[in-house]
Structure 1
Amino acid sequence: MIAFAVLIFVFLGSVEGFSTSYQQCTYDTTKMCKPALFTAVFSTVSFILGAITSIISGFLGMKIATYTNARTTLEARKGVGKAFIVAFCSGAVMGFLLAANDLFVLYITINVFKIYYGDDWEGLFEAITGYGLGGSSMTLFGRVGGGIYTKAADVGADLVGKVERNIPENDPRNPAVNI
């Protein structure tokens, strides 16, 4: 995360040669926009905030999913319909919570950045784009890590069935086998 933040700062700051002087806005040539160096700083901060928000959202989502699995299993004893309702409601809660968390942090970030940028909408929008990039990059790393973890768990479960229970390869009695 820090390496990407440094790259964002270097690339965006070097657009105008790490300039701290005001420049003409592209959308309105009568106005002066904020320096590129400060936009690079705000974009980097926005990237880090997006990444942290994504990590927190992923953590909360996994906590909710873990608790939900136990509750859904208990409700499945009473019937499929009750288990479905518990799973569906918890999925809706998780979805709304994560979206609300991201929107809340984004709203605060925009309002804090707007104190500096004022009427410079171009600079504000450029600085805020780092938020989405940070959230997306952490989500991608989470998916890759989750896939690796899942594959390792599948291989481990398959080996336990083979070694400890002497179950042959691809036997349906082994719960880790995908048929």
Structure 2
Amino acid sequence: MAGFAVVIFMFLGSAQRFSTRPEPCTYDPARMCRPALANAAFSMIAFLLGALTSVMSGYLGMRVATFANARTALEARRGVGRAFVVAFRSGAAMGFLLASSALFVLYVAINLFGVYYGDDWGGLYESITGYGLGGSSMALFGRVGGGIYTKAADVGADLVGKVERNIPEDDPRNPAVRTGNY
């Protein structure tokens, strides 16, 4: 995460040779905008905020989902309707929690960055785009990592069936073999 933030800083800062002087705005040459080094620094901070928000959302989402699954399973003993209500409410609460936390962090970041940028809206929104990049990068790596661990578990379970029980490969007697009937 920090390595990507440094790469973003280096790319954006080197666009104007790490300039610390205000420059004419690209959208209005009559106005002076903030220096490239400041945009690079604020973009890096926004990237880190987005990445941390994404990681926090993933952690909280997994915690809520774990508790919700246990409660749903307990309610399923009493009926499908009660289990559905618990699952639906917990999913809604989790969705609102994650979306509202991301919007809150974005709102705070825009207001704090706005103190520095003032009326330079172009520079502000150019630097705040790092927030979305950080959030989506961490979500992408989380998804890829989860897929790798799932595949490793599948391969391990398949090997246990083949090696320990002498079950041929792709035999339906091996519980780790996916048959496509689900």
Same fold (TM over 0.5): yes
Partner AA of 2:124 in structure 1: L
Partner of residue 54, structure 2: 54
Q: How many residues align?
A: 179
TM-score calculated relative to the size of structure 1: 0.91
Deviation sequence 1:21-53 (CA, Å, 0-9, x none): 111112222211000010000000100110011
Partner of residue 86, structure 2: 86
Partner of residue 29, structure 2: 29
CA, structure 1 residues 128+88, in 2 after alignment: closer, same or farther (shift >3 Å)?
same
Partner of residue 14, structure 2: 14
Partner of residue 39, structure 1: 39
CA, structure 1 residues 21+109, in 2 after alignment: closer, same or farther (shift >3 Å)?
same
Inter-partner Cα distance in structure 1 for 2:69 and 2:172: 24
User: Percent identity among equivalent residues?
Assistant: 72
Partner of residue 5, structure 1: 5
Inter-partner Cα distance in structure 2 for 1:23 and 1:175: 65
Partner of residue 77, structure 1: 77
Partner of residue 153, structure 1: 153
Unaligned runs of 5+ in 2: none
Partner AA of 1:33 in structure 2: C
Inter-partner Cα distance in structure 1 for 2:98 and 2:176: 31
CA, structure 1 residues 6+60, in 2 after alignment: closer, same or farther (shift >3 Å)?
same
Partner AA of 1:95 in structure 2: G
Partner of residue 129, structure 2: 129
Inter-partner Cα distance in structure 1 for 2:40 and 2:73: 49
Deviation sequence 1:104-151 (CA, Å, 0-9, x none): 000000000000000000110011000000000000000000111112
TM-score calculated relative to the size of structure 2: 0.89
